[in-house]
Chain A
Amino acid sequence: MSSSRRAPVLISVIFLAVILPPVLTVLGAGFASDTAGVWAGQVQSILNRPSTWRSLRFSILQAAVSAALSVAVAVPGAYLMSHYRFRGRQIIQSLSLVPFVMPSLIVILAVIGFYGRAGLLGRLFGGDLTFVYSGVGIIIAHTMFNISVALRIIAGGWMQVDERYRWVSASLGERPVSRLLHLHLPLITPSLVSAFIIVFLYCFVSFGVVLVFGGVRYATLEVRIFQEMFTNLNLTGAGTLAALQLAVAGLLVSLIQYLTRKKGAGTVRSGRRFHARRWNELARPARALAVLYWAAVGMFLFAPLLTVVVRAFTWNGGFSLISFRALFGGSVGTREVSEIMQAQLPEILMTSLGMATLSALASSSLAYLCARSLRDHLPGWLDTVLTMPLAISGVTLSLGLRLLLFGIVPELALIVMAQSVMAFPLVFRNMRGHLRALPTRYLETGRSLGARPVHLLWTVEVPVLWRGLVNTFAFAFAVSLADFTSVLTIGRGRIVTFPIAMYRLIGFQSFDVALALGVVYMVFVGLIFFVVDITSVQREEAGL
């Protein structure tokens, strides 16, 4: 009793102690150079700017639309993934993460390459397509990024819904469509809300994507933070905006949680294994529709990325491997590619792999511990707190951590720390969903048989939860792999991961080589996720 009460408070203490000081440091850094009065004046002037509020409004609007759309697009897929077994389910799950780990620049070029004026769509259907620049591009790019997140969260939630509700509803005469609306919808609302919040926050702090497709008309708050931090070198301003962003995000998330919680969607019965039905139990027209859906989603996610692949294989208008040859030990003109990237390709591969593995291990163990101690009791306010790292801009967090702990904590550990914190909300939610597969009575049985907690972890928890753990790990791995900011800010250029190498090549104007590296990265990432997903299934089927 007391331990279940204490856990939330304890966790939030530790958690806030990690995330707040960096933000406050950045906020306080500006304080150093001026007197309190000047500092307060600066804060005020930032808050008085109309552009600040304009950006805030737009940040909220675009994030809400993007999140709503991502969730809407993901729902049918989540339904299929959670209810049916079909060939390629694993591949879909693995592949859908690929856009998620792409640096935003690559996704931008991909979206443009497909929907843009010189894009594939325009070339196929003719006409001068500028619609991506009207804000539609923001939504497209954000949805591409986040669809896998929504897919995983919602499918996870759906798998927790006792399938017998479906039978009860059917026996009461309810038709499938009505059932979806009146029964499933309220039951999966928590996971829909969860997915919405996560995607919302991701889009809320989005930067490059928004500017490219929205133009200056639609600069987000994150753009303002960058502006204050790197152009105006006004740390106070940046800190103020970061704090504002954090506060608004916290308020909005609380509000969403409050509004959706009021309805009192009770806990869904747990502990019962969900039996996915066979694919051919789906009626023929429904099957055709499902295939069509996956094809459309596949097109949506990969057709744009394919244009990037095509560009990587093109040189002066024709097919060429020159970019790849340059990448694998060649050079651009007089400069060796490895010298531009400041690392050899195998080294980049190993660094990316190692760093992501470390961070994923850290964040998933952290998430596991938190999820376990909070399994029975997760107060709404804590849920909000644990989601907040998503609302801190990566730059603020990394810079703050570095200012605070550099020299005290080794930089590798610091990067792992930053990445774990940033990945935590996602990983935690994922983990919480999976943890339901482990009823408390298993643990109690283990304890009664004399197993100590550590022993229990290896003999019961890990084997029973294996699939969920692997799934969560893969997610955490992806988040860490895609991280650019903290590696660059904390790693001081010496740690080179894929996104950093791409950024450097582009900085040297070698777009084609950068895209070739992007292709290698896609293959690398796709393979890793595939292997991870496959092993989790095989182990599952082996009866472990």
Chain B
Amino acid sequence: MQSNTSSTTIDTDVTFRVENTDYYYGSFLAVKGVNFDVPARKITALIGPSGCGKSTVLRCFNRLNDLIPGAHINGKIYFDGEDLYSPRVDPTELRRRVGMVFQKSNPFPKSIYENIAFGARINGYRGNMDELVEQSLRGAALWDEVKDKLSESGLSISGGQQQRLCIARAIAIEPEVLLMDEPCSALDPISTLQIEDLMQELKTNFTIVIVTHNMQQAARISDNTAFFNARQTDKGGKQGYLVEYASTETIFNDPAQQATRDYVSGRFG
């Protein structure tokens, strides 16, 4: 995929480029006309009220929305310069390169060790598995807490630990990108802080895109912020759209749009 970069004008420091993309579920237009670039090795936050489609946008970056019958896009999303929805892209291989952490921690009903090793094994990892497990757990700041109980169930540890296990699982397959869908919304403040600190460390190696409901969190951790909003359609549904995309500092201190100003100052949403 890298070799194609030269044939386009896209900056190599851009991981994802979303060009005029509409997101559909069947005939329902969920998010309309999105344009923005996700820079490499930075944290990009997607914020906005419920139903504005930020999760939909996120879940197309690893084509997880392919699993929903009828979900499709109209437009172009480029990943490292290559069309993400080209028939030549194998979604399973793509997901090895674009990892994901979910809103609710969802460890497999397997041991802590196997939770990490599973992804590596199915992707044909040929290195030392013990080392990979340790390195991934260290990377997720979890090693010291679980090193003596690697054979215990991934469901036996606390919620915050489970979420870090899910991060360890995601980075174990050495992806280029980490997608995070409200990763802290089910966690207590201390676990949340641990994960935020972790994200700052991870961004030296990974491009991170995070959906969050928590504006303070977006302001604390992200480099760029995309604000999505929703409007009522004639049929009574909600249609999301991208209001504004800029550096996080601009979005929170000097946004160009009144709607953004109202949202970040807590006047709605």
Does A associate with B in a complex?
no
Q: Which residues of B contact A (CB under 8 A)?
A: none
